[in-house]
Structure 1
Amino acid sequence: MTSTTATATPALSVRDLSVNFGGLQAVAGVGFEAGRGRITSVIGPNGAGKSTLFNLISGAIRPTGGRVTLDGTDVTGRSPDRMLAGGLARSFQITNLFFELPVLENLRIAAQILETPWRAMLPLGRSRKALVKADALLERFGLTAKADALAGNLSHGEQRRLEIAVALACEPRVLLLDEPTQGMSHGDTADTGDLIKSLAGDLTVLLIEHDIGLVMSLSDHVVVMAQGRKIAEGPPTAVRANPAVQAAYFGHA
């Protein structure tokens, strides 16, 4: 009974989430569930409120209404560090790395959270768990040869891969990816898509992405936003055929 109930509980649940900025309602009553071990994508035209929604879920912005639950626990309004400790990590639309530090150090710093409190105060070179995790991520993300390179000297595609690796360093159960393929070449986009797909199952992925072809090939579930509201959701094929989605993207059904 307990096992079935735990499996049925979504990894992430959003209910009637809203936020106002003055007289502007940037997100209005958005709700959906992200199934455990699956890829859920949030799409919509520019200005639809997608990144604001991510900020509400991850704790960067406090909602004016609604609720966020993580593994069945109400986490609405928790700070980003508490969300991270609770198992939710995110990447950002703009690359967010320590560009002046080597790739390995970026990963090792992020993995410090895995250390016991008393070891967390030791020099990074003595952080055994963090180093093991960093080495494993270097290999998984094809960055071993760049371990000693400054993050700022990586190619754009490598920086985006590193940012996903940094987000995974704390071993989250839910990962939010905001435009992970932005600015990438076609080849890098395809490689990153394969990487994201490989993450599903081990963890739950919530994805914002403008590449509709990539979204349709990767996603188990798609949520569509326009002007701060959810206008459709469902399997990729159903969403693609939805007249409201076609009108939002192309101006006609």
Structure 2
Amino acid sequence: MSTILSVQGLSVQFGALKAVNDVSFEARQGDITAVIGPNGAGKSSLFNLISGAIRPTSGTVRFDGSDVTGRAPHQLLGSGLSRSFQITNLFFDLTVHENLRLAAQFLERGRGLLRPVKRSAAALQRVEELLDQFDLGAKADELAGYLSHGEQRRLEIAVSLASRPRMLLLDEPTQGMSHSDTHDTEALIRGLSRDHGLSILLVEHDVELVMNLSDHVVVMHQGQKLAEGSPAEVRSNAAVQAAYFGEKT
């Protein structure tokens, strides 16, 4: 499969601190690529560099063959790259339907800004698709703030997909979830990749979920890439065992 995301020599420095130091890896189209590492390894900084939240000190990010280094999040969305957030980022005083409709309005590409919402045909069609895909139809008129934590996280992933991206960046999507909700989210993410062909870059603290779910794993340690490979290769890597799993070989 072809490469959809290429990160080459990516670095960012905050004063004397090198939060990310010369990191390179590639993500293949249709695959689930995961970034793991202990606390302070630089995972979130790397994620924010790729998603446009912060600008790199050096290095490049290429998406689908185009250089997107340092582009703002809304520009990346226009290129087909969308993201979710570690902390739930929804309009809690709006309904599930309204949250999805606001995100899906992107599909209108600025057309009909002064016309009634009910005439935004492309956005409304996308909302109905997402309500069905994410089993949120029964909750459509409920305020997002009244949903359970698992439902809110599921809604946030749906919101991230409203623009029909080609790649989705997920920042710790199972954080704070129960075992049951984590299992459901794992199945959801797997289905997005296998059934819908979506490319996914995942930052996740749940190592077992990563090993069960991912096609390719990148391990960060102290701001640098420590190792990468298939889940089996990463799990058997002596350096990873020592630095991440706390094991000695």
Corresponding residue of 1:215? 210
Q: 2:8 aligns with which of 1, 12, 15?
A: 15
Task: Give identity over the alignment, percent.
Answer: 65
Q: Which amino acid aligns with 1:220?
A: D
How many equivalent residue pairs? 246
Q: 2:219 aligns with which of 216, 224, 228?
A: 224
Q: Tell me how far 1:188 sits from its aligned partner.
A: 0.5
Q: 2:183 aligns with which of 173, 185, 190?
A: 190
Q: Name stretches of at least 5 consecutive residues in structure 1 with no aligned partner.
A: 1-6
Q: Tell me how far 1:250 sits from its aligned partner.
A: 3.3
Q: Is the aligned partner of 1:252 residue 2:244?
A: no
Q: Which amino acid aligns with 2:84?
A: S
- Write out aligned runs for 1:116-131 (5 A): 116-131=109-124
CA distance in 1, matches of 2:145, 2:233: 41
Does the 8 Å CA contact 1:112/1:130 hold for their aligned counterparts?
A: yes
Q: Which amino acid aligns with 1:163?
A: E
Corresponding residue of 2:161? 168
CA distance in 2, matches of 1:15, 1:225: 15
Q: Tell me how far 1:116 sits from its aligned partner.
A: 4.0
Corresponding residue of 1:29? 22
Q: Tell me how far 1:247 sits from its aligned partner.
A: 1.0
CA distance in 1, matches of 2:46, 2:113: 32
Q: Name stretches of at least 5 consecutive residues in structure 2 with no aligned partner.
A: none
Structure 1 length-normalised TM: 0.95
C-alpha deviations, 1:117-176, integer Å up to 9, x for none?
A: 322443333211111101110111111100000000000000000000000000000100
Corresponding residue of 1:179? 172
Corresponding residue of 2:237? 242
Give the secondary-structure state (helix, strand or coil) at the position aligned to 1:14.
strand
Structure 2 length-normalised TM: 0.96
Q: 1:147 aligns with which of 140, 146, 152?
A: 140
Corresponding residue of 2:46? 53
- Write out aligned runs for 1:49-128 (5 A): 49-128=42-121
Q: Which amino acid aligns with 2:143?
A: L
